[in-house]
């Protein structure tokens, strides 16, 4: 299909659309030379005084015009093109899903997920500065009421229920979406405010590709990242590494009007991810690994002159998933582990405390298409959490499991979704 546009001259508004003509099976080509000859003969006939000459010229003009219009159109046959798209996300009634732009330009402007989420109008990000604690609030709820899920694995701390978004570099994330609305509690963990979903975008392809990212900012801020993807059609591997550091030696004014430079506020971050997918689209096995290390100095507050406090965060996460889909049945099994360590030191107070938390999670889903308009999905999930710190007399543990059921009916006029979930602790 070719499109030919023609605009009208002296239009009152540039927003008015011009005239468009569409030739479905090619572009018509007419003999312009015949028209030019006929126009010339007409012009010549206007200067003749003899009636007989005018009559002869008029016959010639009619002959040439009829000859030009009698020519066959030039037709170009094009091969048919089949365009297909696979729909994999449902927008349920009462649920708002907003996907973040994690393109390369966005990765350069938002170095951590806290920086990126802080630019979204629906969210409130409470941050204590670059490299410091950052918590999220959705729809006016607390930070513990927002679920943070990475490839199906919950990242919320079992000790306080929150997650520090300054520990999530955007460069290591492929897909980030924000879910808010009435279906938030279906994510589990009392997520009445909503949920943040992060997934690794490993798709079957062929070839080798890579990317490199560098960034510099004020107060000694530096970011470096590199990634490589190797695929042969059935096996896809993706490796990414990211590091960030900053001095944070900015100047500020105290309530007494004195100008000072912030001290003891530097931080350093290192992250490595590995994603592997094997199989094909309807039967594949995924493996995701993520190691994160963060070191930061805690600066003094307004009532102290100096600080020697430091905090180290380390986390290791692993997720394995097997997904199979057929004409009528589809199922998936997901299992993962998340281990976190937080070490806090304060030489002045003689504190050297280590807190550890381990979460083991397993989820199984089974679905069936009863017809082309109706399907039913059942889910079973279990979570086993362990926590240990010097403030606990003994190691604390918690085990919970849940059952869920979801029915979806959809046609060209209606979309009906009903979900129910029960959690047991």
At 140-158, the pLDDT tens digits run 777 888 888 999 898 988 8
- Give pLDDT tens digits for 162-206: 888 888 888 888 888 888 765 655 555 567 778 888 888 777 778
Task: Please tell me the total count of domains within the chain.
Answer: 2
Flag whether the pTM goes above 0.75.
no
149 and 189 belong to one structural domain: yes
189 and 109 belong to one structural domain: yes
127 and 63 belong to one structural domain: no
Q: In the listed set 155, 179, 195, which residue is the last one of a domain according to the structure?
A: 195
28 and 111 belong to one structural domain: no
Digitized pLDDT (tens) for each residue of the chain, 425 residues in all: 333 343 344 434 333 334 343 333 333 444 444 444 444 434 444 444 455 666 667 666 665 545 444 445 566 666 665 554 433 344 455 566 777 765 655 555 557 788 777 776 667 878 777 777 888 877 777 788 888 899 989 898 888 888 888 888 888 888 888 887 656 555 555 677 788 888 887 777 788 999 898 888 888 888 899 999 999 888 999 999 999 998 888 888 888 888 888 888 889 999 999 999 998 888 999 999 999 999 999 888 877 778 889 999 999 999 999 999 988 899 999 999 999 999 999 998 888 999 999 999 999 999 999 988 899 999 999 999 999 988 888 889 989 888 989 898 988 888 888 888 888 88
65 and 108 belong to one structural domain: no
Return the structure tokens found at 205: 């392809």
Q: 42 in a domain, yes or no?
A: yes
Structural domain of 139: 95-195
Dist. CA 255–CA 210, nearest whole Å: 50
β-partners of residue 267 are 246, 296
26 and 61 belong to one structural domain: yes
């Amino acid at each position: 299909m070719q499109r030919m546009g023609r605009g009208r001259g002296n239009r009152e508004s540039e927003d008015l659309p011009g005239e468009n003509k569409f030739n479905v099976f090619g572009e018509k080509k007419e003999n312009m030379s015949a028209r030019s000859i006929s126009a010339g003969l007409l012009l010549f006939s206007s200067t003749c005084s003899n009636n007989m000459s005018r009559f002869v010229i008029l016959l010639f003009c009619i002959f040439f015009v009829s000859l030009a219009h009698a020519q066959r159109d030039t037709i170009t046959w094009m091969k048919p093109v089949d365009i297909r798209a696979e729909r994999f996300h449902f927008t349920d009634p009462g649920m708002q899903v907003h996907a973040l732009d994690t393109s390369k330009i966005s990765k350069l402007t938002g170095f951590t997920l806290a920086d990126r989420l802080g630019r979204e109008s629906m969210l409130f990000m409470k941050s204590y500065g670059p490299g410091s604690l950052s918590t999220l609030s959705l729809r006016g709820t607390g930070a513990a009421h927002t679920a943070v899920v990475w490839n199906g694995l919950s990242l919320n701390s079992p000790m306080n229920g929150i997650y520090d978004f300054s520990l999530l570099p955007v460069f290591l994330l492929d897909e980030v979406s924000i879910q808010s609305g009435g279906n938030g509690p279906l994510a589990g963990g009392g997520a009445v405010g909503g949920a943040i979903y992060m997934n690794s975008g490993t798709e079957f392809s062929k070839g080798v590709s890579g990317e490199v990212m560098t960034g510099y900012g004020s107060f000694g801020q530096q970011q470096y990242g590199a990634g490589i993807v190797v695929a042969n059609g059935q096996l896809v591997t993706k490796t990414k590494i990211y590091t960030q550091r900053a001095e944070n030696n900015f100047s500020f004014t105290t309530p007494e009007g004195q100008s000072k430079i912030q001290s003891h506020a530097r931080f350093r971050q290192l992250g490595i991810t590995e994603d592997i997918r094997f199989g094909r689209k309807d039967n594949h096995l995924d493996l995701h690994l993520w190691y994160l290390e963060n070191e930061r100095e805690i600066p003094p507050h307004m009532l102290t002159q100096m600080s020697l406090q430091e905090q180290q965060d380390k986390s290791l996460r692993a997720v394995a998933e097997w997904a199979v889909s057929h004409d009528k049945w589809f199922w998936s099994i997901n299992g993962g582990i998340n281990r976190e360590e937080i070490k806090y030191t304060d030489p002045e107070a003689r504190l050297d405390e280590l807190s550890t938390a381990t979460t083991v999670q397993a989820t199984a889903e089974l679905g069936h298409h009863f017809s082309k308009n109706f399907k039913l999905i059942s889910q079973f999930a279990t979570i086993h959490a362990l926590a240990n710190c010097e403030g606990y007399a003994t190691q604390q543990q918690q085990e919970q499991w849940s059952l869920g059921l979801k029915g979806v009916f959809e046609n060209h006029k209606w979309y009906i979704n009903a979900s129910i979930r029960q959690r047991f602790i």
